[in-house]
Structure 1
Amino acid sequence: MWSEYRSNEETEYSAVTLDLSNNALPFAPLPSVRKAIEAEVDRAADYPAAAYGSLRNAIAGFAGFDPDQVIVGPGSVGVLGYIMRRVAGDGGRVVFAVPAFDAYERVVVDAGGTAVPVRGTESRWQPVESMVAAAGDDAAAILICSPHNPTGERVSLDEIGMVLSAVPRHTVVVVDEAYIDFDRTVDASATFRLTSAHPNLVVLRTFSKAYGLAGLRVGYAVGDAGLIGACRTVAMPFGVNRLAVAAAIASLDVSDELADQVDRVVHCRSQFIESARAHGLSVPESHGNFLWVPMRHPAPLVDCFSRSGIAVREYPDLGVRITVPAPEHMDHVVEVLADGYSRMEATACHR
């Protein structure tokens, strides 16, 4: 298996035996989901339904919306691209905090928008008040990620409400909740409910993380029917394949079983954080399926992982993000993390 991670402005490739760089779930599809995928294989020569009526109906029923309030696409990043093309495609300013999901800037620029990154710090990785100030009166959109990728920090519902109250109605507020299922401190449907009072709010979700369908590429967004409908007009035709549609619908039907898998990930996350802290690492709480290790010079730690056959995600001058490993890999990952960290400290002491 090959894994890709970004270092500075370049992309490096390393042969790895354990990929902890992309926050994928370590589970195969559930039997009923696998059956739904297999049932579509014989129809692979047929295009999917252009309007994705069955999938949009299933998502609408799950999330409490009308189908015309749902847009689907190839992963949440694909859906975000549709939204950015519609609301910021003429050079519109789009504000987001950095560090951020790697794709944000690329999606904004590719859509024709202007990226406006706002630097976060260890005290607040998504400084929402600074983001609102940067947006001013003319921003096309603000992107909020909660739980935050890559740090695991959450943005409260009150803070989202503050942003919505502070920006003009023509500024679209996109709340990316790709990791919401791993956050056990919130009501996962609370942001959905805010959309009824705020037509400029769009909530972005994915089947790639908690649903374990990263390889099939399917995501969605919900919001005001007028805004969502406008975004659908710029969507790529047949952007979600038949197998992905079938798998997503089947996954919504077994959400309780998938919740059990998420429970296991959350339990492993707690163990991971406790073990890291027991070895002297200062790591924050995480509400995603990953651990954030803030450090000014992360390259040596990333190199230590790479030599051990483990891929992690480096954020130069800021830190390292490590996907929560499966239980059978936990001890080894913690051992490499602790060893790499202790080597870095020893080197620093002898400078």
Structure 2
Amino acid sequence: MTSSETLAGGIRPRPIVGRLPRYAAGKPPVDVAGMVSYKLSSNENPLPPLPAVVEAIANQTDFNRYPDPLSSKLRNALAEFLDVPADDIVTGAGSLGALNQLLAAFAGQNDDGKADEVVYAWRSFEAYPISVGLAGAESVRIPLTADGRHDLEAMAAAVTVRTKVILLCTPNNPTGPVLTATETERFIQAVPSDVVVVIDEAYQEFVRAEDAVDGLAMYRKYPNVVVLRTFSKAHGLAGLRVGYSVSNPELTQYLRMAATPFAVSQIAERAAIVSLQNYPQVVERVQSLVEERDRVTAGLRELGWFVPAAQGNFVWLSLGADSGEFAELAGERALSVRAFGDEGVRVSIGEVEANTRFLELCANYTKPPRRS
């Protein structure tokens, strides 16, 4: 539907709704005779939640009651786990829910009718332009470098008096590279201190680069920094929708006002707490996926394929106009991958057999991605 179309009874959506891109969730794999199907299109953890988590939530029966709107028990557990004050944590329905709360509080349409600006790299998390647009703000997208990294110099140069929020996705989804501590701190120091700098670390647990930025370290040094994290990826709780932001009290007081009431259910809160209590097991599972990621990346490079530095639970293939064709070929092999128009294909790290089948497909594909 475009902004010029009307619904029954003459109802019209806000004009911005017709201009926004549609969020395209990763599709499930198709059934192929004689083959096990694997979904590698949504950056999901292929491993189920920890047994202790499954047991804990199976024993809950209090769903006739509303959950604690402040998720106090989870915030206290996170405060101890992260060594931050519980008052600096605001929970949300995944890290995306936490982001939407932040945008609602700090970026949108002003009393003079002018929209605030939100600066972010592109391509990055595909929900960014949707969330920014629905908040009433204007997106300022800065192209990635040829190796899939944020162009921080260009992003800093794009900041104007209307800029209210900057989004830094690290590792960047869908391309994979991280921001380093040195370049991130230099960037934060270069932008005005009244601009909120969001460090989106949805895949933080998968990072092994020694020079990677630690969002919490930046939050402790700079009062305009907000960190986003989630239990969806490393903890395998994507379906329960629990994430959070960490920021200084000057910001959290407004984030709580913008927070969706009861966004984190009691089952999600309990699952997250138990997962934190068993974190060594989470680390073991994450490490197994990191080793698979490194195996896949090494295999692709042995084939002569260019792959950006992968630090999440996925790899990026800059296949350009061949992206759709590659995704179709993967589908014929019972693998669902995520094609982004004519830009590239993101492939999540899944089960060992799935990853091996993906490498076999690449070994027989004659149009490998090259560094542009």
Normalising by structure 2, report the TM-score.
0.86
Equivalent residue, structure 2, for 1:85? 104
1:246, 1:14 → 2: CA distance?
28
User: Between Structure 1 and Structure 2, which shows a larger proportion of strand residues?
Assistant: 1
**Secondary structure at the residue paired with 2:118?**
strand
Equivalent residue, structure 1, for 2:259? 235
Gaps in structure 2 of 5+ consecutive residues:
1-20, 31-36, 110-114
Equivalent residue, structure 2, for 1:324? 349
Identity %: 36
2:64, 2:278 → 1: CA distance?
27
> Per-residue displacement from partner, 1:90-114 (whole Å, max 9, x unpaired)?
2210000111111111111111211
**1:138-157 map, 5 Å:** 138-157=162-181
1:159, 1:284 → 2: CA distance?
18
Kept in 2, the 8 Å contact 1:94–1:141? The answer is yes
**Secondary structure at the residue paired with 2:158?**
helix
1:9, 1:66 → 2: CA distance?
37
The residue type paired with residue 50 of structure 1 is P
Equivalent residue, structure 2, for 1:205? 229
- C-alpha RMSD of the superposition: 1.9
Equivalent residue, structure 1, for 2:42? 22
Equivalent residue, structure 2, for 1:349? none
> Residue 291 in 1 paired to residue 315 in 2?
yes
Kept in 2, the 8 Å contact 1:180–1:188? The answer is no
The residue type paired with residue 171 of structure 2 is P
> Per-residue displacement from partner, 1:109-146 (whole Å, max 9, x unpaired)?
11121111111132453101111111234311110011
Equivalent residue, structure 2, for 1:348? none
Cα deviation for residue 18 of structure 1 reads 1.5
Equivalent residue, structure 1, for 2:95? 76
> Per-residue displacement from partner, 1:4-35 (whole Å, max 9, x unpaired)?
xxxx9795966533211111111111111112
> Per-residue displacement from partner, 1:324-350 (whole Å, max 9, x unpaired)?
1211322212112333x32x47xxxxx
Kept in 2, the 8 Å contact 1:14–1:306? The answer is no
The residue type paired with residue 49 of structure 2 is P
Cα deviation for residue 315 of structure 1 reads 1.9
Equivalent residue, structure 2, for 1:309? 334
Equivalent residue, structure 1, for 2:16? none
**Secondary structure at the residue paired with 1:116?**
strand
1:186, 1:219 → 2: CA distance?
25
Equivalent residue, structure 2, for 1:100? 124
Equivalent residue, structure 2, for 1:253? 277
Kept in 1, the 8 Å contact 2:147–2:308? The answer is no
> Per-residue displacement from partner, 1:57-91 (whole Å, max 9, x unpaired)?
11111111111100101000010000011000222
The residue type paired with residue 321 of structure 1 is R
The residue type paired with residue 279 of structure 1 is L
> Residue 161 in 1 paired to residue 185 in 2?
yes
Normalising by structure 1, report the TM-score.
0.90
Equivalent residue, structure 1, for 2:69? 50
